[in-house]
Amino acid sequence: MAAEQAADGYLFDLYRRYIGEPEDRTDVYVGFGLFLGGIGLAIVALVLFVWASTFEARSGSYFAWVGPAYALAMMALPVTMLGIVVLLPSERRMLYTSVAGIAITAGAVVGFLVVYPHHWNGYGANYTVHVVAVYALGLAGITASTGAALIAHYLDMAQQAEAVATEADADDAEPELTDAEVQRDIDDAMDGVELSWGGVEQTEHKRLSFSSDDLDDVSIDSDAGTTTTRSSGVDAQVAGLKGLKGGETKETTSSSTVDDQTAKLRELREQQRAEELATADDDGGAVETVAKPFSGLVERLRALVKRS
């Protein structure tokens, strides 16, 4: 595409940039030729008018240069507008109207050159109104066709922009999926993935199976090696968790009373005395040495019982 634009030339680049893709190469050359030619006529008319101003007013030399300057200026505007109509991708009737208008203006210009200056604006037979009326009629036709061509071109560009926007919206719109299609996509995606419902990878292992004939002569204790755990309530579990966490001390509450503790201490003391008497005959020094710590322990326990 870039190579074709470079081969066509600068005029085609301008046409594609400001108007669009050309339908015919002739329209591009003729349209730009008329448009630039109209601008050129206006420049030449300005130069001639400036040159005529250097001569004495209303002299023969003055009219010889100023007459062509007016005629070229009168033709510059219609030619430029005809170039615009040719460049735009308008209907043929617009082009025909412009051609008819420029033909009328050209006739008015020829009439101006014939009657100027001897029959123009108060000189001799005055034909000023006739020439101006004919010129205005032709210029009106060219103006109407040019305006219609511009409006049609802008509408065409708006429709193309709207069509492009609609196609973009249609491409961006996501198709609606049914539940069956979603489930099929999930199944296709999970096909070959060895994951269980818990998200843990499946492992290959062997299982042992026994028949009843193999275990007829074997006595199996079903309770052996098993541990039964019973929940003791939410409070107890929370307390256990706090103990595992650390920083929490576990409190132990005894269900026995003071009398039970006193009775147990008394039995312990009598048992210690009996042991002391039994070992006193064998080794008196050893009994005294061994009994001394126990007697101190008994005295401490007795003091604790009295305090409680």
What does the pLDDT read at residue 46? 95
Average pLDDT over residues 260-278: 81
Residue 48's domain spans which residues?
10-168
Q: What percent of the chain has pLDDT over 90?
A: 23
Q: Is 71 exposed, middle or buried (0-12, 13-18, 19+ CB in 10 A)?
A: buried
What's the whole-number average pLDDT of the chain? 75
Overall average pLDDT of the 237-254 stretch: 59
Cα 206 to its chain centre, rounded Å, is: 53
Cα→Cα distances 167→41, 164, 176, Å:
46, 5, 18
Give DSSP secondary structure letters for 89-148.
---HHHHHHHHHHHHHHHHHHHHHHHHTTTTSTTSSS--HHHHHHHHHHHHHHHHHHHHH
| Mean pLDDT computed over 180-205 | 64
Place of tokens 């604790």: 304
Is pLDDT larger for residue 257 or for residue 183? Answer: 183
Residue indicated by tokens 């109209």: 38
Q: Is residue 229 part of a domain?
A: no
pLDDT tens, position by position, 108-158: 999 999 998 888 877 777 889 999 999 999 999 999 998 888 888 777 777
CA dist 66 and 56 (Å) reads 11
Q: What confidence score (pLDDT) does residue 287 get?
A: 46
Q: Is 193 domain-assigned?
A: no
Q: Please compute the mean of the pLDDT values over residues 232-253 and round it to a whole number.
A: 60
Show the DSSP H helices in 173-205 as ranges: 179-190
The burial class, CB within 10 Å (0-12 / 13-18 / 19+), for 170 is exposed
* pLDDT score of 69 more than 90: yes
Question: According to the model, what pLDDT value does residue 182 have?
Answer: 77
pLDDT value, residue 18: 72
Lowest mean pLDDT among 1-10, 90-99, 226-235: 1-10
Q: Is residue 30 part of a domain?
A: yes
Locate tokens 């040495």: which residue?
289
Q: Is residue 75 part of a domain?
A: yes
* 210 belongs to a structural domain: no
pLDDT band at 306 (very low <50, low <70, confident <90, very high): low
Residue at 252: amino acid letter:
T
By the 10 Å C-beta count (0-12 exposed, 13-18 middle, 19+ buried), 295 is classed as middle
Q: Residue 213 has what pLDDT? A: 55
224 found inside a domain: no
CATH of the domain at 70: 1.20.120
pLDDT of residue 180: 76
pLDDT of residue 2: 42
Q: Which residues contact 145 (CB under 8 A, 6 or more apart)?
A: 85, 90, 94, 95, 97, 98, 101
pLDDT at 201 over 50: yes
Cβ atoms of residues 34 and 79 within 8 Å: yes
- pLDDT band, very low/low/confident/very high, at 105 (cuts 50, 70, 90): very high
pLDDT for the residue 231: 53
Residue 205 has what pLDDT? 54
Give Cα separations from 5 to 1, 12, 13 (angstroms).
6, 7, 6
In a domain, 245, yes or no: no
Q: Does 220 fall in a domain?
A: no
- Total domain count, the chain: 1
